[in-house]
Amino acid sequence: MAILFHSPWDNADQWLAALRAALPDDEIRVWPDVGPVEAIDFAFVWQIPHGVLATFPNLLGIASLGAGVDALVADPGLPRHVPITRLLDPLMADRMAEYVCATVLHHHLGLDVYGEQQSREHWQRHPTRDARDRTVALLGLGQMGQRCAQRLGALGFDLLGWSRSAKQIDGMRCSHGPEQMQQVLEQAEIVVLLLPLTAGTANLMDSAAFNAMPRGAYLINCSRGEAVVEDDLIAALDSGHLAGTTLDAFRAEPLAFGHPLWRHPKVRVTPHIASLSEARTAALILAEQVRRARNHQPLENLVDTENGY
Question: Model confidence over 62-108: pLDDT tens digits?
Answer: 999 999 999 999 999 999 999 999 999 999 999 999 999 999 999 99
- What CATH number labels 2-89+277-294? 3.40.50.720
| Angle subtended by helix axes 143-155 and 90-108, to nearest 10 | 40
- Predicted local distance difference test score (pLDDT) of residue 309: 87
Domains 2-89+277-294 and 90-269 share a fold: yes
pTM tops 0.75, yes or no: yes
Asked whether residue 134 carries a pLDDT value surpassing 90, the answer given is: yes
Round to whole Å and give the CA distance between 120 and 123.
9
Catalytic residue status for 224: yes
Round to whole Å and give the CA distance between 67 and 87.
5
- CATH fold of 90-269 reads Rossmann fold (3.40.50)
Asked whether residue 307 carries a pLDDT value surpassing 90, the answer given is: no
For the chain, domain boundaries: 2-89+277-294, 90-269
- Predicted local distance difference test score (pLDDT) of residue 195: 96
**Tens digits of residue pLDDT in 8-24:** 998 999 999 999 999 99
| Separation in Å, CA 272 to CA 35, 159, 175, 225, 284 | 33, 24, 27, 10, 24
* Among 272, 280, 292, 294, the one annotated catalytic: 272
* Among 80, 224, 280, 291, the one annotated catalytic: 224
